[in-house]
Structure 1
Amino acid sequence: MDIHDYAQINPPQRLLMGPGPINADPRVLRAMSSQLVGQYDPAMTHYMNEVMALYRALFRTENRWTMLIDGTSRAGIEAVLVSSIRPGDKVLVPVYGRFGHLLCEIARRCRAEVHIIEVPWGEVFTPDQIEDAIKRVRPRLLLTVQGDTSTTMLQPLEQLGAICKQYGVLFYTDATASFAGNPLETDAWGLDAVSVGMQKCLGGPSGTSPITLSPQMEAVIRRRKCVEAGIRTEAHQDGEDEMIWSNYFDLGMIMDYWGPERLNHHTEATSALFGARECARLILQEGLDNTIARHQLHGEAMLHGIQAMGLEIFGDVKNKMSNVLGVIIPDGINGDRVRKLMLDDFGIEIGTSFGPLHGKVWRIGTMGYNARKDCVMQTLTALEAVLHHLGFRSPQGAALQAAWDRYGNGSH
């Protein structure tokens, strides 16, 4: 091996306009370049406490246990599920895209009895559909996805908390793709647990997953027993609760680390925590409602521009996320070639899709640091030029004019 063959990291310049990750806010990157401190240094524990307070404001909750899981957004999902699901528990998962299937897989690994209801990709569930399934299944937990980037749909959650409370069901949502770009009211909507990721509307890099837990969910987790192999507690012998099979994702232990006990569990990812803190600080400085409105504005400008180009939108537009748009690839157009030309010739990345939508839909994101007018206009310009180059004709300049018309009501 010749070390001279390995140059200093110098990634190409890209404008990431797919479903995530997106370009991190430069202020977040600067925060992450700060020098490290010890994990029990008073400065570090102070920053940890600040992170908890900042994310309570973003989650719109009074939950004490609002903290970070070190790992990608999937780590947050897994931490909540492995810490709350007991073997044999019934869980209900409304599946309307790829990430509902992910919740099912993780729940099965927790040895849950998984019950699924489904709608076609591009649709969402009504509260009545979910309530009917709850009455039929009688689950211990309802596992939902608020925004599924595979379909770009946003599942309404506002009425589900009251339904879950009526039937004694714990209510969890994965809001990785939608959080901070669409409304989410943890306490007002009766959510017992929420997990999210940094690389979408929060405007940071993947690698940290903020979560929040209601007092009810905390009580469930605290009853779980994490025992060494071969050692059985009285509760375990009585069959009340099975041990949590994951040490790393044991939220009871993580709460003891983030709480005043400061019991050692892992070494907190300092640089990632600094980045997560800055993401939350910047949004609260802008105002959470203003951040959500910004995503709505630029998402609508992209939508109007795409429609003016003569392209068809995938799914129920009334129930789409504000920050991701599904675009049906026109007949006769090679979707992957369009993406390659946009990346190679314009430095702009848009996304493909999964499963039944693979090769049929592009996914275009306007989120986080990239929920800006210049990003929208650059993406529309490049896509129009590439499609024209490949023989798809649309009214020249119509896309940009439609976006300008939307911005005529005010731009950011």
Structure 2
Amino acid sequence: MSVQQPINDSHRRTLDPIATPERLLLGPGPSNAHPTVLQAMARMPIGHLDPLYVELMGEVQELLRYTWQTDNRLTIPMSGTGSAAMEATLANTIEPGDKVLVAIKGYFGLRLADMAGRYRADVVTIERPWGQAFSLEEIEQALETHRPAIFAIVHAETSTGICQPMDGIGDLCRKYDCLLLLDTVTSLGAVPLYLDDWKVDLAYSCSQKGLSCPPGLGPFSMGPRAEAKMMGRSGKVPNWYLDVTLLNQYWGSDRVYHHTAPVNMNFGMREALRLLAEEGLEASWNRHRSNAEYLWAGLEGLGLDMHAPEHLRLPTLTTVRIPEGVNGKAFTQHLLNEHGIEVGGGLGALAGKVWRVGLMGYNSQRANVDRLLNLIETELPAFRGSAPVAAAV
């Protein structure tokens, strides 16, 4: 009979039940989830092969197709954050030595290039300053020069607030026989997006921004051309967990076990997508645009400058230049600690230079804009010395 070892209590802690403060998340994400979504996620879990859950899986897939405006068969929520869906687009289609052209105009273009290199792609890049977009001429020149297997670009660059115009890019990718991979993390559900009309072959997003759901799922969509490349691989997809040839057996008609799905996250996703469909895509797009324009007018009325030119601005994410002499981080910490409002700082080349204000999904409401503008008007002066602040518009 074995002797039981004494329990090591050195890491044991007595904690109170979890208690989190109320926050208004007006940063680059996550955003506040819709209350109905949170209620759905609090339901008792059911099995990931339960017939009721299998029915829900189909509802989620169909509503994702609506939200992306696509008929792609392989449209699923990856069990993981948006970065998992981002990696899935690359893991399933890159074979060692494939040339991947990445258009970099911000932080998340850099991440695409990093991920592609880890799958042993021959990565080449084109770059624009952080606050600009690419022209069709620049893209065609790069495609003609490099002849890549995949061209990857960010639609809604979260680090800069730039929305990349997409007209004609898909046609160029067909002309030069490469796949078009599109990051839609900060646009899905909130910014006009047409995967099929734009001839997008691979797309990914997240759950916590325009879809008004907590972080934890990564919507993923693969078109027929990308699917053909995946099926023509000389070897297995190198990432087992994100292998769409396996995941399709679970999300497809066979419903063969692959992993224990986060069922409650998909409860939330189902409700978030249901609410979006109930509002209607066009209505959601218009709401985000109207509230963003209201924010821009208010900020400019306070004497603040936008970083992105108006014709390229994202309605979901606004980059505001931090006024000279203002400690931008100190002001955002003040908003968080004293008022429970989160506003983001700059990333990469824009660190310390801009604030990032998000109006996404459930949070895109005029009342939230008014609350933020009022605080900037009344409390920013204390962080900028004697410089006056104009009255809000």
TM over 0.5: yes
Who is 2:370 aligned against?
Answer: 377
Query: Hey, what's the Cα distance between the residues in 2 that align with 1:4 and 1:103?
Result: 41
After TM superposition, give the deviation of residue 158 of structure 1 in Å: 2.3
Query: Hey, what's the Cα distance between the residues in 2 that align with 1:243 and 1:212?
Result: 20
Query: Is the aligned partner of 1:179 residue 2:188?
Result: yes
Query: Hey, what's the Cα distance between the residues in 1 that align with 2:281 and 2:114?
Result: 33
After TM superposition, give the deviation of residue 252 of structure 1 in Å: 0.8
4+ aligned runs moved over 4 Å, structure 1? 1-4
Who is 2:131 aligned against?
Answer: 122
Equivalent residues in 2 for 1:33-182, closer than 5 Å = 33-182=42-191
Query: Hey, what's the Cα distance between the residues in 2 that align with 1:126 and 1:198?
Result: 29
Please, which moves more after superposition, 93-102 or 31-40? 31-40
Query: Hey, what's the Cα distance between the residues in 1 that align with 2:255 and 2:230?
Result: 18
Query: Hey, what's the Cα distance between the residues in 1 that align with 2:98 and 2:13?
Result: 55
After TM superposition, give the deviation of residue 4 of structure 1 in Å: 6.9
Of 294, 315, 320 in structure 2, the residue corresponding to residue 322 of structure 1 is 315
Q: Please give the per-residue CA displacement for 1:248-300, whole angstroms capped at 9, x wherever unaligned.
A: 01111111111111222111110111111111111110001100111001111
Equivalent pairs, count: 382
Query: Hey, what's the Cα distance between the residues in 1 that align with 2:14 and 2:296?
Result: 45
Length-normalised TM-score, structure 2: 0.95
Query: Is the aligned partner of 1:192 residue 2:201?
Result: yes
Query: Hey, what's the Cα distance between the residues in 1 that align with 2:253 and 2:231?
Result: 16
SS at match of 2:345: coil
Structure 2, unaligned runs of 5 or more: 1-8
Query: Hey, what's the Cα distance between the residues in 2 that align with 1:362 and 1:181?
Result: 20
Contact 1:87 1:242 in 2 (8 A): no
Q: Please give the per-residue CA displacement for 1:276-327, whole angstroms capped at 9, x wherever unaligned.
A: 1111111110001100111001111111110000011113221111111111
Query: Is the aligned partner of 1:202 residue 2:195?
Result: no
Q: What value does the CA root-mean-square deviation take over the aligned residues?
A: 1.3
Of 329, 337, 347 in structure 2, the residue corresponding to residue 336 of structure 1 is 329
Paired AA for residue 304 in structure 2? L
After TM superposition, give the deviation of residue 167 of structure 1 in Å: 1.3
Who is 1:394 aligned against?
Answer: 389
Structure 1, unaligned runs of 5 or more: 225-240, 403-412
Paired AA for residue 26 in structure 2? M
Query: Hey, what's the Cα distance between the residues in 2 that align with 1:21 and 1:394?
Result: 30
- How high is the sequence identity, in percent, across the aligned residues? 37
SS at match of 2:344: coil
Paired AA for residue 142 in structure 1? F
Contact 1:387 1:393 in 2 (8 A): no
Q: Please give the per-residue CA displacement for 1:42-95, whole angstroms capped at 9, x wherever unaligned.
A: 101100011111111111011111111000000001111101011000111110
Query: Is the aligned partner of 1:268 residue 2:277?
Result: no
Q: Please give the per-residue CA displacement for 1:208-232, whole angstroms capped at 9, x wherever unaligned.
A: 01111111212222233xxxxxxxx
Query: Hey, what's the Cα distance between the residues in 1 that align with 2:251 and 2:168?
Result: 32
Contact 1:153 1:320 in 2 (8 A): yes
Query: Hey, what's the Cα distance between the residues in 1 that align with 2:162 and 2:130?
Result: 9
Who is 2:3 aligned against?
Answer: none
Query: Hey, what's the Cα distance between the residues in 2 that align with 1:316 and 1:183?
Result: 18
Query: Hey, what's the Cα distance between the residues in 2 that align with 1:26 and 1:208?
Result: 18
Who is 1:232 aligned against?
Answer: none
Query: Is the aligned partner of 1:25 residue 2:34?
Result: yes
Q: Please give the per-residue CA displacement for 1:78-130, whole angstroms capped at 9, x wherever unaligned.
A: 11110101100011111000000000000000100011000111000011110
Length-normalised TM-score, structure 1: 0.91
